[in-house]
Amino acid sequence: MRFNRAMEHAEGHVAQTPRPGRRLAEAFSTIDSYGPVLLSIIATYVLAVALSAEDGGQIVLVAQILNVWLVFRVAQAHRSVRRATNVLLVLAALTAAATLFGLGGNNGPLLFAASCVLYLVAPAAIVRHLVSRRVIDVQTILGAIAAYLLIGMFFAFAYQLVATIQSGPFFGADGDGTVDQDLFFSFITMLTIGYGNLVPAGNPGQTLAVAEGLIGQLFLVVAVAKAVTSWQPVPRTPKGDATRR
Q: What is the pLDDT of residue 211?
A: 95
Q: What is the DSSP string of 183-225?
A: HHHHHHHHTT---SSS---STTHHHHHHHHHHHHHHIIIIIIH
Q: What is the pLDDT of residue 184?
A: 93
pLDDT in tens, 144-172: 999 999 999 999 989 989 998 988 899 98
> Hey, where are the domains in the chain?
21-230
Query: Do residues 171 and 198 lie in contact, with contact meaning Cβ atoms separated by under 8 Å?
Result: yes
Cα-based distances in Å from 244 to 18, 236, 240 = 21, 15, 6
Using alpha carbons only, how large is the chain's radius of gyration in Å?
22
Q: What is the pLDDT of residue 242?
A: 46
Q: What is the pLDDT of residue 155?
A: 95
Q: What is the pLDDT of residue 235?
A: 57
Q: Which residues contact 122 (CB under 8 A, 6 or more apart)?
A: 67, 68, 71, 72, 147, 150
Burial class of residue 169 in the structure, from the number of CB atoms within 10 Å of its CB (0-12 exposed, 13-18 middle, 19+ buried): middle
pLDDT in tens, 75-96: 887 777 777 777 777 777 776 6
Q: Which residues of the chain have pLDDT under 50?
A: 1-17, 54, 242-245
Q: What is the pLDDT of residue 207?
A: 95
